[in-house]
C-alpha cells in the first residue's frame, strides 16, 4: 500500500517525513533510583515531620500522584535521597507485569518526598531538545508503553524488572521541539478539562447525596416524620423469590450477572451462559423492577435496579434479589434507600466484627413513605 504524501516508513511504523526515530539514550542521559527506607502509612499524626517515601503507585499513565506516599520512620530519614524534581519523569523499574514501566511527569520540586529504589528519575539531555511533558505522554502511549513492559524480565510471575540498558536502548519517534510542545499542550488542555468535569461530577454527587439524606431520612429532630412508618425490608418486599435448582435443563441458556458486572448503581455487563457450564453461583432469577443488593463487601455498594425487561436473566448468589410487593413499595424508592446514610449505618452494624465483610438475606430495617 502506497504511503500518504509527507509520510515515511520506519522501524517504529509510518511517521511524518520530518520526524525521526531515536533511542531513548539520545534523550535521557541518566536514570537514578532512590533508596529503600522503613516507612509506614501514617494517618494518625504520630510523626511531626513531613519526609515521606513514594509508593510505586505514585505513577500511572503518564501522571504523577505525590499523595501516594508513606511517612519515613524518624531513624531512616537520614538515609533517604533523591527528591522528585521539576520537569523530570519518574519510572517504575520494578513492579507487577501490568504496572512495570509505568511513568509520570513531575511538574514541580518536592523537597519532602523521596524515591524508593524501585523508581527511577530521568535526567534529560539539555542538548536533545526534549519537551519532557511530551516524552512522558509518549512513553505512556500504546505501542511505546507496551514496548517498555515487554522488556521486563524476571522469574517471578508477580514481579518484573527493567534494566537501564534495555530501557535506554528502546526506540521512539521524535518530532521537533515545536511539534512536541504543541502535542503536550493539547493533551494537557484535555487533562485540565477532564479534571474540571471530574470536580463538577463530584460536586453534583455531593449535592445529590445531601438531598438524599434530607429526603430519605425518616427522622426529624429525633422523631419519626408525620405520615411515615417503619417497616422491615421483608415486610415490603420478597427476598430471593425465585431460584434455579439442580433439576434445570442443562441446556438452558440465560444472561448472567456476576458481582463484577455491577458498579454502584450501574449494571455494566452480563454474559451468555448455559446452565451445565455456568458458574455455580448462577442461581437467582431476576425480573424487571428487581433490586440487586451486593451482599459480599456491601460497603462497595454494588447494588443496581433492573429497569428493563431482559429475557432469562439470572444473577449470582452474591446478590440478594429484592422484589418489591405491589401497592406496598416502589422499587426506585427502595433502591435509593440503600445509598442513604441511616441504612448504610445499619449495614455496617451487621458487618461489625466480621473478617470477611458479607451479610445474608436477613436485612436491616428500611423505611417507606406512607401515602
Residues 180, 237 within the same domain:
no
> Mean pLDDT across the chain, nearest whole number?
87
Q: Residue 189's CB: how many other CB atoms inside 10 A?
A: 10
Look at residue 296 and tell me if it is in a domain: yes
* Residue 223 binned pLDDT confidence (cut-offs 50, 70, 90): confident
Report the CATH number at residue 24.
Answer: 3.90.220.20
User: Quick one: pLDDT at residue 1?
Assistant: 62
Residues 244, 317 within the same domain:
yes
Residues 174, 39 within the same domain:
yes
Q: What CA–CA distance (Å, rounded) separates 311 from 308?
A: 10
Q: Residue 280's CB: how many other CB atoms inside 10 A?
A: 7
**Residue 126 structural domain:** 7-184
Residues contacting residue 275 through CB under 8 Å, at least 6 positions apart = 244, 248, 249, 250, 251, 252, 253, 254, 282
For 22-32, write each residue's pLDDT tens digit.
999 999 999 99
pTM of the model: 0.59
Residues 47, 172 within the same domain:
yes
For 276-328, write each residue's pLDDT tens digit.
999 999 999 999 999 999 988 787 788 999 999 999 999 999 999 999 998 88
Residues 235, 180 within the same domain:
no
Residues 57, 162 within the same domain:
yes
Please tell me the total count of domains within the chain.
2
Residues 288, 364 within the same domain:
yes
Q: What CA–CA distance (Å, rounded) separates 134 from 331?
A: 50
- Decide: helix, strand or coil at residue 323: strand
User: How is the beta sheet containing 28-33 ordered, strand by strand?
Assistant: 28-33, 119-124, 88-92, 103-106, 62-64, 59-60
For 225-279, write each residue's pLDDT tens digit.
888 888 888 899 999 999 999 899 999 999 999 988 998 888 988 999 999 999 9
- For 282, the grid coordinates are 448462577
Q: Is the dihedral of CA 129, 133, 136, 140 positive or negative?
A: negative
Look at residue 260 and tell me if it is in a domain: yes
Amino acid at each position: 500500500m502506497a504511503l500518504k504524501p509527507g509520510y515515511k516508513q520506519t522501524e517504529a511504523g509510518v511517521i511524518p517525513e520530518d520526524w525521526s526515530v531515536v533511542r531513548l539514550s539520545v534523550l535521557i542521559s541518566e536514570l537514578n533510583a532512590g533508596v529503600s527506607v522503613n516507612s509506614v502509612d501514617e494517618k494518625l499524626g504520630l510523626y511531626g515531620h513531613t519526609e515521606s517515601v513514594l509508593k510505586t503507585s505514585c505513577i500511572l499513565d503518564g501522571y504523577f500522584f505525590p499523595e501516594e506516599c508513606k511517612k519515613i520512620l524518624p531513624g531512616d530519614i537520614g538515609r533517604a535521597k533523591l527528591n522528585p524534581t521539576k520537569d523530570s519523569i519518574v519510572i517504575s523499574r520494578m513492579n507487577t507485569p501490568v504496572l512495570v514501566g509505568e511513568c509520570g511527569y513531575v511538574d514541580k520540586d518536592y523537597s519532602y518526598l523521596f524515591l524508593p529504589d524501585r523508581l527511577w528519575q530521568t535526567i534529560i539531555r539539555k542538548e536533545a531538545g526534549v519537551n519532557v511533558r511530551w516524552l512522558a505522554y509518549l512513553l505512556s502511549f500504546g505501542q511505546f508503553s507496551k514496548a517498555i513492559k515487554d522488556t521486563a524480565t524476571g522469574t517471578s510471575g508477580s514481579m518484573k524488572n527493567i534494566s537501564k540498558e534495555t530501557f535506554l536502548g528502546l526506540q521512539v519517534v521524535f518530532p521537533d521541539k515545536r511539534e512536541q510542545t504543541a502535542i503536550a499542550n493539547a493533551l494537557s488542555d484535555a487533562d485540565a478539562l477532564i479534571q474540571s468535569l471530574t470536580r463538577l461530577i463530584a460536586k453534583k454527587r455531593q449535592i445529590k447525596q445531601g438531598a438524599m439524606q434530607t429526603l430519605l431520612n425518616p427522622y426529624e429532630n429525633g422523631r419519626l416524620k408525620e405520615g411515615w412508618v417503619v417497616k422491615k425490608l421483608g415486610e415490603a418486599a420478597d427476598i430471593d423469590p425465585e431460584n434455579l435448582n439442580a433439576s434445570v435443563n442443562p441446556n438452558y441458556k440465560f444472561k448472567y450477572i456476576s458481582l463484577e458486572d455491577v458498579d454502584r448503581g450501574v449494571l455494566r455487563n452480563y454474559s451468555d451462559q448455559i446452565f451445565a457450564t455456568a458458574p455455580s453461583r448462577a442461581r437467582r432469577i431476576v425480573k424487571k423492577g428487581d433490586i440487586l443488593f451486593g451482599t459480599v463487601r456491601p460497603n462497595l455498594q454494588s447494588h443496581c435496579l433492573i429497569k428493563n425487561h431482559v429475557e432469562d436473566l439470572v444473577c449470582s448468589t452474591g446478590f440478594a434479589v429484592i422484589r418489591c410487593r405491589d401497592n406496598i413499595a416502589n422499587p426506585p424508592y427502595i433502591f435509593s434507600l440503600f445509598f442513604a446514610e441511616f441504612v448504610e449505618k445499619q449495614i455496617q452494624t451487621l458487618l461489625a466484627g466480621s473478617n470477611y465483610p458479607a451479610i445474608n438475606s436477613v436485612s436491616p430495617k428500611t423505611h417507606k413513605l406512607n401515602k
